Amino acid sequence: MTDSALVESIRVVPDFPVKGIQFFDVTTLFKDPEAFKEVLDRICDIYKDKGITKVCGIESRGFIAGAAVAARLGAGFVPIRKPGKLPARVVSEKYSKEYGTDSIEIHDDAIVPGDVVLIHDDILATGGTASAAVRLVKGFSPKAVYCNFIIDITDVPRSAPIPDDVPVSAILRLSER
């Protein structure tokens, strides 16, 4: 499947969640079995030889492909959630995004030193959520951290860039405009 076919499977919603934001809705990609399989295949091809032991999916669309990738790689899956959603003790991190501030949480026993962690989410825009996720994960002293996205929106300024020591990959690179 070509990049163009994958892009065509993604719904674009203007002015969501606020005016001026072009929202790339990957749920339409997920419902297309061929497109979803292609995305999973591409992600797994990138990370199959990295020794991934945990895949952290960022709420909520990061759970979908993240859990499937974890299963395919033989790794555990760890949800990174919005506040108040996890039942046990958590570690949290605040961050800024294009249209406000937020925080994310992870269970305080989710990762152990020596884990090789892949953080996955659907979209990389300003980098706020991903950078917060990296800070959370690095607090556990893993052996290595990687970040993967389905879409990297290339023309959005990175207000919170992912640290240089964390390799980043994206299946598609798109422009918001």
pTM for this structure? 0.95
**pLDDT band at residue 25 using 50, 70 and 90 as cut-offs:** very high
Which candidate in 42, 81, 89, 98 is catalytic? Answer: 98
Strands 168-174 and 144-153: parallel
d(CA 53, CA 166): 16
pLDDT at 131: 95
Active site residue 61: yes
Q: Which CATH architecture fits 50-174? A: 3-Layer(aba) Sandwich (3.40)
Q: What band does 176 get if pLDDT is binned at 50, 70 and 90?
A: confident
User: Would you say 74 and 83 are in contact if contact means Cβ atoms under 8 Å apart?
Assistant: no
Tokens of 82: 């919005």
Q: Give the residue extent of every domain in the chain.
A: 50-174
Question: Which pLDDT score is estimated for 98?
Answer: 61
Q: How far is CA 164 from CA 23, 62, 93, 131, in A?
A: 27, 22, 19, 11
Structure confidence by residue, pLDDT tens digits, 100-145: 788 999 999 999 999 999 999 999 988 999 999 999 999 999 999 9
* pLDDT 10s digits, 89-104: 999 999 876 667 889 9
Both structure tokens of 176: 């918001």
Catalytic residue (choose from 61, 81, 93, 105) = 61
Q: Where residue 66 falls among pLDDT bands split at 50, 70, 90? A: very high
Q: What percentage of the chain carries pLDDT values higher than 70?
A: 98
Residue 72 annotated among the catalytic residues of the structure = no
User: In this predicted structure, what is the pLDDT of residue 166?
Assistant: 98
Question: Where on the phi/psi map is residue 18: left (φ > 0), alpha (ψ -120 to 50), or beta?
Answer: beta
| Residues with Cβ within 8 Å of residue 161, at least 6 apart in sequence | 127, 131
